[in-house]
Every structure is written in structure tokens, then in C-alpha cells.
Chains A and B, each alone.
Chain A
């Protein structure tokens, strides 16, 4: 079969395929394993290609791809995940990590948190802490923290109200900080108060 490269192919390759890394990264965080992430990425670009005509040229292609990915994840993967969305987050304060340091013997680490804490956490610690968040919170945390989307863009991508974005992000942030503290303890960067 002769290869014919269409205008659509060229456009799609230029506009959409530049975001493969970002889409893959998001898929990994959401599915938490490579095999499912690869499926999800394939499906995302496949669907994007098929619906390329409905993409408004000149608008934000990265956000559009993330919207497709998020949709596919919610419809196809969410169902099979047994994850319970119930989570005890109310006992976590705002600025949890900072307060933990302030209230323990590690106050001096606040002088230079980058050197004393953050640089000592492994990439995998941070990724795992994110992956341990309940799905709904994880989604907005990744879109905001890692991908840098605005609250309004996140609302459009996930298909939720702006207020919901803010509250999920708020809770997600607290839980993430709690998770990171636990990894700091695990790494021996800090010792849990007994």
C-alpha cells in the first residue's frame, strides 16, 4: 500500500505530536503503571487524530489532548479501579509540611528547605506521593503542579466547576504534603516525633 501523507497528517504531527511526553507523563501518574499508560496514550492520540477536524485550530492543543486523555481515563479506567474515594483529609492542616518542620526539631531546615529537604527526596518519592492521592485529587494536582494549567483550564479539561477545581486542589495539596512528609521520614531526612 503506497504511503500518502495528507495535510491532516502533517498538521497533526506538528500540532499534536509535540506533546507526546506530556501526555505520557500524565498517563503514567493516572494509571500508575506503564502498560496501562501506554494503552491510554495510544488511545488518546488515536482519538485525537480521528477527531482532529473538531479541534479548533489555533486554540490550546495541549489542553485539548489532556481533555481527551482525562475523558478516556474516567470512562475506561475509572470503572475498573477499585479505589475508594473516601479519604481522611480533614485532619490535615494547610501548610502541613511547613508546620511539621516548625513544630519539630527540624526548624533549622526551614532556613534552606531546598537543600535540607527537597533535594534529598528522590524523584520516585514525589511520584509515589502523587500516585497515592485519590484519583480526583491526583488529576487536578498533576494538571496544576506538573503541567502548570490554570484553574480555568483544569475545569475545562476535567469537566468540573471552577470551585470544584479549587477545593480538590486544596485537599490534594494537603494530602500531598502529608505524603511527602512520610517519604522524608522514610528517607531518614527527618525522624517522626514519638
Chain B
């Protein structure tokens, strides 16, 4: 395998998308070619860096509990879990724009009051749920 072939397969190699034989071929080349090895290391660290710098962003507790709460509420409101897809769409798409607008304004006006606006949103969705 020459440099050109090795570099062509480099990203697939780093993404674990090569089979065992191809993997070995690339590795053999990287062992014997300092230049390609440097490139491979650079790309490997780059990939690792992107992953590490983006991975720690936990979901806000408030949002997590509101998901739980909403799921529980839905179950109790409907007699069956097999809701029609029509009802599904009504919830997702017809109710949303209005809510979204509300939230957006709120968010804009009161940047500091994140939790407050969240409560406001839950209140709205509760209202909506009871209408279903």
C-alpha cells in the first residue's frame, strides 16, 4: 500500500469502518511511513478533541423531569396507548407554533428567568393536554 492509498482509507480506518485485512494494511503502512503516521495521529486527535469538547452538556434537570411528568400525564389522559396518528400530528404540529411563539417572546424578554418560562410552558401544555 502506498501513501495515496493509505490516506484514501485513513478516515474509514479512524472511523472503524475497515475490515480486519484492510485495517492491517493501513497499519502496516502507518508503521513504515512517518509522514502518513503524523497525519493519522493528527486526524485521530482531532476526532477525539471534537468528541470530548462536545460530549459534556447534560440535559437540564428541569427538562428531564418535565419529560417524565408529561409522559405520565399522557398515559393517564388516554384510555389506550394506541393513539391514532392523527391525534399525534395534532399535538405535534398544530399546537406547537403557537406555543413556540409564546415561549420565544418570553425567552427574549426575560433571559434571566429560564425556570420561570419553563413553568409557563408546562402550564400551557397542560392546558392543551386537557383539551385533547
In the assembled complex, which residues on chain A have CB atoms less than 8 Å from the CB atom of B71?
9, 12, 45-46, 49
Please tell me if B115 contacts chain A, counting CB pairs below 8 Å.
no
Bits for B42-66, please: 1 = Cβ < 8 Å to A, else 0.
1101110111011111111001101
Query: Does A110 lie within 8 Å of B42, measured CB to CB?
Result: yes
* A59-67, A81-89, A144-152, A185-193 - interface stretch: A144-152
Task: Determine if A1 and B76 form an interchain contact, defined as CB atoms under 8 angstroms apart.
Answer: yes
Q: Is the Cβ of A49 less than 8 Å from the Cβ of B57?
A: no
B51–A49 touching, CB < 8 Å:
no
> Is B42 within 8 A of A25, CB to CB?
no
Residues on B lying within 8 angstroms of A by beta carbon are: 7, 11, 15-17, 38-39, 41-43, 45-47, 49-51, 53-60, 63-64, 66-68, 70-72, 74-76, 81-83, 88, 91-93, 96, 100, 103-104, 107
The 14 listed contacts between A and B (C-beta, < 8 Å) are A3-B76, A41-B67, A42-B67, A46-B71, A46-B74, A97-B42, A98-B42, A113-B41, A114-B45, A118-B49, A121-B53, A145-B54, A146-B51, A150-B16
- A residues with a Cβ closer than 8 A to B are 1, 3-4, 6, 8-9, 12-13, 17, 20-21, 23-25, 28-29, 35-36, 38-39, 41-43, 45-47, 49-50, 52-53, 72, 76, 94-95, 97-98, 110, 113-114, 118-119, 121-123, 125-127, 130, 142, 144-146, 148, 150-151, 169-170, 173, 176-177, 180
